[in-house]
Every structure is written in C-alpha cells, then in structure tokens.
Amino acid sequence: MKILALDSSGLVASVAVMENDNLIAEYTMNYKKTHSQTLLPMLDEVKKMIELDLSTLDAIAVAAGPGSFTGLRIGSATAKGLGLALNLPIVPVKTVDALAYNLYGTDKLVCPLMDARRNQVYTGIYSFAKQENASDYQLEEILPQCAVELQEIIEKLNTLGKEVIFLGDGVTVYKEKIEELIKVPYSFAPASCNRQRAACVAALGEELFAAGKIQTAAEHEPDYLRLSQAERERLEKQC
Amino acid sequence: MKNEKDVLILAIESSCDETAAAVVKNGREVLSNIISSQIALHTLYGGVVPEIASRKHIEKVNQVVEEALKEAEVTMDDITAIAVTYGPGLVGALLVGVSAAKAIAFATGKPLVGVHHIEGHISANYIENKELEPPFACLVVSGGHTHLVVVKDYGEYEILGKTRDDAAGEAFDKVARAIGLGYPGGPKIDKVAKEGNPEAISFPRAKVSDAVYDFSFSGLKSAVLNYLNSCEMKGIEVKQADVAASFQKSVVDVLVEHAMLAVKEYGFTKLAIAGGVASNSALRSAMQEACKKNGVTFYYPSPVLCTDNAAMIGAAGYYDYIKGIRSGYDLNAVPNLKLGER
C-alpha cells in the first residue's frame, strides 16, 4: 500500500510518502513561514521529485491532534481536500503518538511534550513492547495523549519510577522546569529525532489503516483535545 | 449541461460564519449554491466566535462541496477551475476553505483562483442581472464592510469611501443587542422596525468632514446607547420598534445620500448594492426610490446572494479566471486584504 502523510500540528511542517515499509520521500521544515504557505508547496515538490502519481495512493494519514488549532486545520483541510478529489480515506493519527514513535524500540519511557500555551503541555507517556512471538515493537500508551500542566506529567513520571526520554517543542520551553522537578533518570532526545515527522505519521498510519481505523474525507475533523475558549467560559458560567 | 467552451467554476467560501460551495457556469449562471449556516450556533455567544466558526468550517467543508457538485449534476472532471475566498475575513475561518481548495486544485491539476470576498459580494449582482456590466457604482454594506466603490471594469475597483469605524452591519448588531433583539441584528431590526415610527427619535446622520464619501457609524451607535440610558434614568419606557426604526432610518439615510452624491458627481447611470445589509428592506426601498428620482438603474441581489455565499465567489472567480489570474499552492489567507489588491 502507498500512503501520503501530513503533519502540521506544531511548528514543523512535514510531508512523507511511504510504500510498504519503504519511505520514498520525506520533506520536513521547521521555519517561521506559516503552514498555509509551506505544506502544499512541499507536497508539490515531493510529488515532482518522486514522480508521484496521486491516483496510486491508498490513503492519506494526517496528524489529527492535538496541536495548534490553526495548524491542525491546515493539515486536516488539506487532507480532506485531497481525500475528496482523489476519493481516498483519511487515517487520523494521534499527534503525540506519532511524536513518540520517533524513539521506536527504546526500553525507556517516552514522554513527548508540545507547548499547549495556557501553562499546559500536550503530552502522554509511552513505551515500546513486543507481543509474544512478535518481531516488531508496538507503541503502548501508558498515559494516552492529553493536555495537562507540566507538573502533573512530571509527577506521574516520578511515580512510575522509570528512566524517561523527553522530546518535542515543549522541551525548549520547559527544560529548566523539567530539570527542577524530575526525580527519575532522564534525557532529552537529540535534534535528529525530537520533532514531528510525517514518516512517523505514515508508519503509524499504515498500522491503523491495516486495522481498519479510517474515516471518510467528509467525516474527518481534528481532535483538538480542548474546547474553544468561548465554549469553556460558557460552561464555567453554567457550573 | 456543459458545452466544450463553458467555464465551470467550483467556488468555496469560508470567511466568516457560513461554509459554502457553489458551481457557477460562465460567471453568471448558478448551477448550485450550497450554504451551511452557523448562525444558530453563534447566537449562543451573541456573535461570531472565530474558533468555533473555524471548527464548524472544517466539519462541513467537504459536505458542501460534494452537495454543490451533486446539485449541479456535474463531477469534478467537468470543473474548469477552483475559486476560493482568501480574504478579507477571519483568518482561521479563511484558512479552512483556502487549504481545502488548494488541495482540490492540486489533486485534480485544475487552476486555482484566490478571490476577494468583497469582489464576490459585488459580483453577486452579475448573477441575476445578465445585462449588468461595468462601469457602475456599488455600495457594499455588510457586518464587516461599508464601501462605496466604482467598478471600473471586471476586477478593477476604485474605493470612493469607506467606514472610519464600525461597519453598517456591525452597528445593526450592536444596537440589536442593546435593545434586546440579539444576534444577528440586521434581519431582527429590519423586522421590528416595520412596526415602529422612523421619525420617533432623532438620531444623528454622521458626516466625515474631510471625506464626503466616508462613513462613520460609531457615533450613531453611541447616540442609541445614550438614548437608552437616559430613558432608563428618567424611567421612560423604551419602545423597541421605534428605536429600531429610527436607528435604521438614520443608517439608510446616510447610505442613500452618499450613494446619490457619488452617482451625481461621477455621472453613473447604474448603481448596485451588495453585502448582507443589502437585503435590508428599508435600504432597498429607499435606494430604489432615490435611484428612480435620479434616473439611475438600481441593481440588487436576492437575499440569498446578499448573505455570504459561494455563488458570488464563483462569479468573481470566473472573471479573474478569464483574465488569466492564477494563485499558487502557497496561497495564504489574508484577513485584512484590501479591495483591488492581490
């Protein structure tokens, strides 16, 4: 199967094309231009470079949240437009899961951190485990992706008591605070594997596609993990 | 349905609180015009909430496009080009339509045309008035815009005047809220005003001293609020319908006066109105009368084409398309895009 993957959930814009475990192309940018200006031109460039015939694609995987609301919508709207025109299903991939997948196979815990503003991070805790008789590791959620305060996730890691690797743009924002609060052995992933990559979205997307976890392009929408400010304030007033 | 030479535009509009798609043939014939309105949702908050609008757009965008194709009885293959509103408007809302339209253009290899929202409103007049061609004067009045424009040619505009503060529709919304009518203010005031006396209260007709064609509505809005306050202080009962009618008259008088001034000064024989407020019944009849008196032909779109819709974007997109205007895959939303700029 051939899958196109997009990730514009954070500061990074990334596009990948993967065919049967073979990463044919990946284009990742971490630059100040808005995703609206970069994502589709990047895809166009990839298409030209690898002479991609769009009609040979089987699915479009997209980092479907959490993340920057606008960034998520640029990725999802692009995926929906492609899905509509090419009559392809969408494979929504959890953003934090895909970020964790960067560290495939580690025996440490993995804790991705994305800056979620309002004093919170989008995060989760993961490990890689092998099923009996299996040759490949599976990504396992110890704490599924969520929006919490940094302190809360660090306390959870301290309770778990195992060595952890942090990654994601939240590390840049919270490094000092992490070092101050963490009580277990820890490290920060290097720049080669500490940001969103569409290849990770594609790889997880392939697994999800095989498991039938797909949506139509019409029904797909991002999973923000958060209400809008107006909805939140309205609910608070009602309580 | 489609001849070889026909140009079919698939248009998408998501600049504010309507998710819309349409198929338009040769700029003037609407084959479908699908609008998914969010008004009911935003009513809970007393106005448009940008983040909620953006979320709703992404939920609906494919649905409206698919319905537009289906109702037009065409397939994507029949479409000549994709047109999309890229400004002005709410940036998050615009980005949904822009991103989806770009992806559709990319996936199908069809040309992409970024369209100015106000150009769309003006072009709504072409749809039902097949004989209307530039040059003409156009008054664009909506919740976000109040522009008096000379349409010199297709896609060529000269702005004679615009609002210095609130847009006309914004004033309707704010006054409607103050007198307890709620959102959306335009249609509610229009309805209630029919029961009221437009001469009951004397509200100001604001002029901008150094620019005869510019508008200012914030003073009028304040005058209404002051009037309501003073009634409360004196214990006088406020007649909602009279306030609505008097306020509306004040807005309409200014709009008509400015438009007529422009028509006389520049010698136009044609005047069009466009935008959400263009469906206001008092404005339509007052403008009609003034045009008749001055020997000017008056054009106005049906209410469904006054509100935000994609058919108007298809009409404007067609004229941009035949002029050779194309947008790249880096097309971005431009929330404060000026009319006549690209």
Q: Can you tell me the distance from the alpha carbon of A80 to that of B61, in angstroms, rounded to the nearest whole number? A: 8
Which residues of chain A neighbour B62 with C-beta distances below 8 Å? 80-81, 83-84, 217-218
pLDDT tens-place string over residues A70-123: 999 999 999 999 999 999 999 999 999 999 999 999 999 999 999 999 899 999
Kindly indicate the confidence band of residue B341, based on its pLDDT and cuts at 50, 70 and 90: confident
Specify whether A91 is located in the same domain as A7.
Answer: yes
The answer to whether B280 and B230 are in contact (CB under 8 A) is: no
Specify whether A12 is located in the same domain as A76.
Answer: yes
Specify whether A201 is located in the same domain as A91.
Answer: yes
Domain assignment present for residue B232? The answer is yes
Mean pLDDT across chain A: 96
- Total structural domains within chain A: 2
Residue B8's beta-bridge partner residues?
B25
Pairing of strands A109-115, A90-93: unpaired
Kindly indicate the confidence band of residue B282, based on its pLDDT and cuts at 50, 70 and 90: very high
Q: Do B52 and A230 touch (CB under 8 A)?
A: yes
A9 touches chain B (CB under 8 A): no
Q: The domain that contains B58 carries what CATH number?
A: 3.30.420.40
Specify whether B103 is located in the same domain as B230.
Answer: no
Specify whether B230 is located in the same domain as B120.
Answer: no
pLDDT the model gives residue A71: 97
Specify whether B270 is located in the same domain as B167.
Answer: yes
Query: Which among B333, B321, B233, B222 has a CA at the least distance from the CA of B10?
Result: B321
Residue A111 to residues A68, A162, A173, A236, B254, Cα–Cα distance (Å): 19, 12, 15, 31, 62
Specify whether B186 is located in the same domain as B293.
Answer: yes
Specify whether A21 is located in the same domain as A88.
Answer: yes
pLDDT tens-place string over residues B208-248: 888 999 999 999 999 999 999 999 999 999 999 999 999 99
Specify whether B14 is located in the same domain as B120.
Answer: yes
Beta-carbon count within 10 A of A231 CB: 16
Q: Do A73 and B95 touch (CB under 8 A)?
A: yes
A205 touches chain B (CB under 8 A): no
pLDDT the model gives residue B329: 98
One-letter-per-residue 3-state SS of A139-157: EEEEEEEEEEEHHHHHHHH
Query: Which among A80, A84, A51 has a CA at the least distance from the CA of A64?
Result: A80
Percentage with pLDDT > 70 across chain B:
99
Specify whether A47 is located in the same domain as A125.
Answer: no
Place of tokens 């809360």: A152
Query: Which among A139, A113, A130, A128 has a CA at the least distance from the CA of A207?
Result: A139
Q: What average pLDDT does the segment B177-193 reach? A: 92
Q: What average pLDDT does the segment A26-46 reach? A: 95
Specify whether B179 is located in the same domain as B281.
Answer: yes
User: Is the model's pLDDT at A24 over the cut of 70?
Assistant: yes
Q: Can you tell me the distance from the alpha carbon of A22 to that of B265, in angstroms, rounded to the nearest whole number? A: 70
Domain assignment present for residue A239? The answer is no
The answer to whether B39 and B136 are in contact (CB under 8 A) is: no
Which residues of chain B neighbour A69 with C-beta distances below 8 Å? 51, 54-55, 92
* Higher per-residue pLDDT: A239 or A138: A138
Domain assignment present for residue A88? The answer is yes
Residue A108 belongs to domain spanning: 96-193
Place of tokens 């990770």: A200
Q: Can you tell me the distance from the alpha carbon of B189 to that of B283, in angstroms, rounded to the nearest whole number? A: 12
Task: Classify residue B235 as left (phi > 0), alpha (psi -120 to 50) or beta.
Answer: left
Specify whether A138 is located in the same domain as A217.
Answer: no
pLDDT the model gives residue B2: 62
To test the contact with chain B by mutation, choose from A6, A40, A235 the residue with the greatest count of B C-beta atoms within 10 A, namely A40
Domain assignment present for residue B202? The answer is yes
pLDDT the model gives residue B1: 54
Domain assignment present for residue A238? The answer is no
pLDDT the model gives residue A188: 98
Specify whether A189 is located in the same domain as A200.
Answer: no
pLDDT the model gives residue B321: 98
Which residues of chain A neighbour B57 with C-beta distances below 8 Å? 73
Q: Do A78 and B96 touch (CB under 8 A)?
A: no
Residue B261 belongs to domain spanning: 134-301
Percentage with pLDDT > 90 across chain B:
90
Q: Can you tell me the distance from the alpha carbon of A95 to that of A100, in angstroms, rounded to the nearest whole number? A: 9
Residue B138's beta-bridge partner residues?
B149, B272
Q: How far is B25 from chain A, CA to nearest CA, in Å?
A: 20
- Total structural domains within chain B: 2
Percent helix, strand, coil in chain B, to 5, is 45, 20, 35
pLDDT tens-place string over residues B50-85: 999 999 999 999 999 999 999 999 999 999 999 999
pLDDT tens-place string over residues B12-42: 999 999 999 999 999 999 999 999 999 888 8
pLDDT the model gives residue A133: 86
The answer to whether B16 and B169 are in contact (CB under 8 A) is: no
Beta-carbon count within 10 A of B105 CB: 27
Q: Which residue of A has its CA nearest to B333?
A: A36
Mean pLDDT across chain B: 95
- Angle between helix axes B50-72 and A229-238 (nearest 10 degrees) is 120
How wide is the angle at C-alpha A113 spanned by C-alphas A161 and A67, nearest 5°? Answer: 145
Specify whether B242 is located in the same domain as B160.
Answer: yes
Q: Do A228 and B96 touch (CB under 8 A)?
A: no
Specify whether B162 is located in the same domain as B286.
Answer: yes
* Higher per-residue pLDDT: A46 or A118: A46
Kindly indicate the confidence band of residue A168, based on its pLDDT and cuts at 50, 70 and 90: very high
pTM: 0.95
Q: What average pLDDT does the segment B252-279 reach? A: 96
User: Is the model's pLDDT at B89 over the cut of 90?
Assistant: yes
One-letter-per-residue 3-state SS of B180-239: CCCCCHHHHHHHHHCCCCCCCCCCCCCCCCCCCCCECCHHHHHHHHHHHHHHHHHCCCCC
Domain assignment present for residue B129? The answer is no
What is the Rg, in whole angstroms, of the alpha carbon atoms belonging to chain B?
Answer: 20
Specify whether A184 is located in the same domain as A126.
Answer: yes
Domain assignment present for residue B164? The answer is yes
Kindly indicate the confidence band of residue A220, based on its pLDDT and cuts at 50, 70 and 90: very high
pLDDT tens-place string over residues A119-145: 999 999 999 999 888 889 999 999 999
Specify whether A60 is located in the same domain as A128.
Answer: no
Domain assignment present for residue B333? The answer is no
To test the contact with chain A by mutation, choose from B17, B52, B60, B62 the residue with the greatest count of A C-beta atoms within 10 A, namely B62
Q: The domain that contains A73 carries what CATH number?
A: 3.30.420.40
